[in-house]
Amino acid sequence: MSEPTSQGPTAIKGWIVFSAVLVAVFAIGLLLASVMERRAESKQGQRDLQPIAAWESDNSKWAANWPREYASWKATEKTDGVTKYGGSAMRDLLAEDPNNVILFAGYAFAKDYNQARGHAYTIKDVMATGRDISTKPGTCWTCKSPDVPRLMAEMGPAKFYDTPAKDLYNEVKHSIGCADCHDPKTMALTITRPALKEAFERQGKDIANASHQEMRTLVCAQCHVEYYFKKDESKGQKAYLTFPWDKGMGVEEMDAYYDEKQFTDWTHPISGAKMVKMQHPDYEVYSKGVHAYRNVSCADCHMPYKTEGGQKFTDHQIRSPLENISNSCAVCHRWGEDDIRKRVESIQDKIVEGRHIAEDAIAKAHFDIAACKQAGATDEELAEVRKLIRKAQLRWDYVAANNGLGFHAPQECQRILAAAADLGQQTRIAAARILAKKGVTEPVVYPDWSSKQKAQDLIKLFGKDGTPPKLIAAAAAAPTAAK
Ligand code: HEC
Ligand code: HEC
Ligand code: HEC
Ligand code: HEC
């Protein structure tokens, strides 16, 4: 009988330890291999990058290097997203709110005014709009295409702006894309539009010093801003794209800027007032809100991160964040998706209410001034009321034309709408005094503009060949109920 060796159990233990180590080493090896492979994969991605030409405006040429960003960018073609007040579908803002037709009478927006769609449609939409671009300067193309930085590099910005838009039809082909926001060599975010750089310079700031987080907003501020076409005879410039920020980006400062320049977009055919059209002061309004105050960028909400196949990347399907709450707002706000949506809608509902109060006053005020004219008031007597209505409408439009219906800075927008409503009512009171002086004591008889069609037919009567309806005759043939 052999005695069990004292080594027996130890040997077994040894083997167990040995195999455990073996398994562990193998597992670690596998893990390492997979990590190395991932690294190699992503390095490979970098090593295999195709060189992209300077000013490459064809977005598909960037796709091989950046397939995920490209695919998400391409998704801005989708038009199925509809939110309570926004989304990517076409919306006819004149039919939704015929007051717009009255306020923009004599200006192209009274003919055709749709809500913005995705970046894939910038060229299509501007070509299809009733606001004819064929007679416009090249400046109109500035915020539409990555062909623009290319053309500006070739021609210089001043020449680009002054070339008739129709002469550039064959040059401006690609909708907003990679070369609008990225340097093709480094892929760093970059400012390609001179108007933004120049506006910073005039305020004594160098945009090159902007932080990375600021750049995530400033690439958007190249286009999503208020602007006008500056005429400078001394430089021979007819339509130089300029942002009116020299006194600041608030509505009062822009109003003062335009007054000082005696700038006018058009003369209103009903009231005869010299008006300013606000474009889409998205960056300016955003900068007054709590998110800007807390350094949340446009991209944080409109281009949140997305994960696909273990890869995190920036979602380039720029759209309403309400179509993508879980990746956008909910990253910072841990409330339910439904709560977040309802919160946004309730903010927007209140802005809409304020907006209607202001625009009802302003629309009626245009007719009040027309009534004064019919009662024999002279241009001189009307100078003050016309100034008032210009200020009222400029404020209303600052809020109305800004995208997102006030969400970007709700308190600021309500403050401005309150001022717009007040100025609108001041106009009406001043007009009533003028009417009283002319011996008109009966209330103004307002025509009917309760639908887009009625409003468009009505404003034609105030055009060159029309005969305006009587607004002051107490015994008007068919008195219409006041709107
Ligand atoms: C805190 C998040 C947030 C930030 C930051 C933000 N937005 Fe928005 N934006 C929204 C929301 C919410 C809406 C409303 C969407 C809707 O009504 O469907 C919106 C709407 C818009 C719209 C209209 C989209 C539509 O479908 O109607 C545009 C254009 C826009 N924002 C541009 C910008 C720009 C440019 C910036 C930066 C200057 C910016 N936004 C910053 C949340 C944000
Ligand atoms: C080169 C100019 C340009 C730049 C840069 C730009 N936009 Fe736009 N954006 C536009 C134009 C023009 C439209 C309207 C397109 C249409 O209706 O055809 C638009 C539309 C939008 C819309 C509406 C989309 C929808 O589906 O409703 C959003 C949101 C938006 N932009 C956000 C941004 C954000 C955020 C940035 C920056 C990351 C940005 N944009 C940068 C010009 C620009
Ligand atoms: C309206 C501006 C805009 C346009 C157009 C745009 N990008 Fe971007 N892109 C951004 C922003 C903002 C970021 C985030 C950058 C950051 O935070 O560093 C980004 C990030 C990226 C990155 C870095 C990796 C990532 O996903 O975060 C790549 C690569 C990229 N974009 C590729 C593209 C390509 C390809 C196109 C054209 C198909 C394109 N971009 C069009 C604004 C834009
Ligand atoms: C990057 C982080 C971030 C993202 C993304 C973000 N927010 Fe905010 N939000 C903040 C911060 C910071 C505040 C300031 C209050 C605070 O500190 O909680 C704030 C405040 C708010 C408020 C209160 C506003 C007020 O005037 O007090 C609302 C409402 C809101 N966010 C909605 C949204 C919605 C809707 C989205 C998505 C479209 C969104 N936020 C996306 C960070 C964010």
pLDDT 10s digits, 141-163 = 999 999 999 999 999 999 999 99
The single residue listed with the structure tokens 């455990």 is: 20
Mean pLDDT of all residues in 5-23: 68
The pLDDT score that the predictor gives to residue 80 is 86
298 lines ligand 1 (CB under 6 A): yes
Structure tokens, 153: 């590099």
Closest residue by CA, ligand 1 atom 27: 86
The C-alpha atoms of residue 198 and residue 202 are separated, in whole angstroms, by 6
The C-alpha atoms of residue 430 and residue 392 are separated, in whole angstroms, by 14
122 lines ligand 2 (CB under 6 A): yes
Neighbours of 436 (CB within 10 A): 11
Instruction: Give residue-wise pLDDT tens across range 329-386.
Output: 999 999 999 999 999 999 999 999 999 999 999 999 999 999 999 999 999 999 999 9
Mean pLDDT of all residues in 411-426: 98
Is there a contact between 420 and 393 (Cβ–Cβ < 8 Å)?
Answer: yes
Nearest one of 410, 407, 152, 259 to 244, comparing CA atoms: 259
Residues 35/39/40/45 CA torsion (nearest 10 deg): 140
Mean pLDDT of all residues in 93-117: 90
Closest ligand to C-alpha of residue 302 is 2
Nearest one of 278, 282, 287, 288 to 411, comparing CA atoms: 288
Distance 332 CA to ligand 2 centre (A): 23
88 lines ligand 2 (CB under 6 A): yes
| Lowest mean pLDDT, pick from 9-18, 96-105, 191-200 | 9-18
**End-to-end distance of the chain based on CA atoms, in angstroms?**
117
Instruction: Give residue-wise pLDDT tens across range 380-415.
Output: 999 999 999 999 999 999 999 999 999 999 999 999
The C-alpha atoms of residue 243 and residue 195 are separated, in whole angstroms, by 7
Confidence of residue 117 (pLDDT cuts 50, 70, 90): confident
Over 90: is that where the pLDDT of 328 sits? Answer: yes
Distance 182 CA to ligand 1 centre (A): 21
Distance 321 CA to ligand 4 centre (A): 12
Structure tokens, 274: 């010299």
The pLDDT score that the predictor gives to residue 478 is 36
Is there a contact between 264 and 229 (Cβ–Cβ < 8 Å)?
Answer: no
Q: State the sign of the Cα–Cα–Cα–Cα dihedral 228, 231, 232, 235.
A: positive
Over 60: is that where the pLDDT of 36 sits? Answer: no
Instruction: Give residue-wise pLDDT tens across range 210-224.
Output: 999 999 999 999 999
The residues, any chain, with a CB within 8 Å of residue 8's CB and separated by 6 or more, are none
User: How many residues are present in the chain?
Assistant: 483
Distance 86 CA to ligand 1 centre (A): 9
Residues with beta carbon inside 6 Å of ligand 3?
Answer: 59, 62, 66, 69-70, 73, 176-178, 180-182, 187, 189, 216, 219, 299, 303, 313-314, 316
Closest ligand to C-alpha of residue 297 is 1
Closest residue by CA, ligand 1 atom 21: 404
Closest ligand to C-alpha of residue 223 is 2
176 lines ligand 2 (CB under 6 A): yes
The C-alpha atoms of residue 117 and residue 192 are separated, in whole angstroms, by 22
The residues, any chain, with a CB within 8 Å of residue 117's CB and separated by 6 or more, are 79, 88, 89, 90, 125
Is there a contact between 395 and 415 (Cβ–Cβ < 8 Å)?
Answer: no
Average pLDDT, the chain: 90
Distance 284 CA to ligand 3 centre (A): 23
284 lines ligand 1 (CB under 6 A): no
Confidence of residue 15 (pLDDT cuts 50, 70, 90): confident
Top mutation candidate among 83, 282, 296, 300 for ligand 4, by most atoms within 8 Å of CB: 296
Top mutation candidate among 62, 66, 319 for ligand 3, by most atoms within 8 Å of CB: 66
Over 60: is that where the pLDDT of 49 sits? Answer: yes
- The single-letter code of the amino acid at 333 is H
Nearest one of 124, 104, 81 to 324, comparing CA atoms: 81
Confidence of residue 318 (pLDDT cuts 50, 70, 90): very high
Neighbours of 70 (CB within 10 A): 19
